[in-house]
Copies of this chain bind each other. A is one copy, B any other.
């Protein structure tokens, strides 16, 4: 890597780390490009060169945190066990204060900012949804899942956790397990 790229990469990492720390300290409303620049030790023009808004910086900070997660869903052959593993991990993430604060700030901003919503969908939501559908498709092929619309299946399995998190209801691993069991077996006796 040439020196300039290395410098850019180290500035990028400093900016994302600063954005992440600051949103935890001051909240999203008081987060500013100026504040991030000061904390990261860069000029604010450096930030504006790479990101159009503080929401976009935060989205990248969040993606940096989630890197490592990109390898697909677990596949032990036991769909119920695998879904419980995944949903429990999601519950743990969403109850981790760093994730919680960043996700709340992003989710809120996305409601107002269609450009950020588009970036979020393209870079986070759609790739993750594709991984979920891949795992479910294998379960359909293995005869463990009926041949339903996979987007409906994804929303029925993952939607309840998202909604409970948004409404600040009790978010526990027991809830994750109950959702998986209910989604697979249905509510009928």
Q: Are the C-beta atoms of A112 and B108 separated by less than 8 Å?
A: yes
Bound Cα distance from A2 to B81, whole angstroms: 65
Residues of B within 8 A of A143 (CB): 189
Q: Are A188 and B145 in contact (CB under 8 A)?
A: yes
**Residues of A142-164 contacting chain B, CB below 8 A:** 143-146, 148-149, 151-153, 155-164
Which of the residues B28, B144, B153, B178 comes within 8 Å of A112, measured between beta carbons? B28
A65 within 8 A of B: no
Chain A contributes a number of interface residues (CB within 8 A of B) equal to: 47
User: Chain B residues near A111 (CB, 8 Å)?
Assistant: 104-105, 107-108, 166
> Which among B28, B107, B162 is the interface contact of A159 at CB below 8 angstroms?
B162
A168 interfacial by beta-carbon distance below 8 Å:
yes
The answer to the question of A175 belonging to the interface, with a C-beta cut-off of 8 Å to chain B, is yes
List residues of chain A with CB under 8 Å of any chain B CB: 27-29, 104-105, 107-109, 111-112, 117, 121, 125, 143-146, 148-149, 151-153, 155-164, 166-169, 175, 178-179, 182-189
What 4 A-B pairs come out closest when comparing CB atoms?
A: A186-B186, A155-B160, A108-B111, A159-B159
A-B contact pairs, 27 of them (CB 8 A): A105-B111, A108-B108, A108-B109, A111-B166, A117-B168, A121-B168, A143-B189, A145-B187, A145-B188, A145-B189, A146-B189, A148-B178, A152-B179, A153-B187, A155-B164, A156-B182, A157-B187, A158-B163, A159-B160, A159-B161, A159-B162, A159-B164, A160-B160, A162-B163, A163-B163, A166-B166, A184-B188
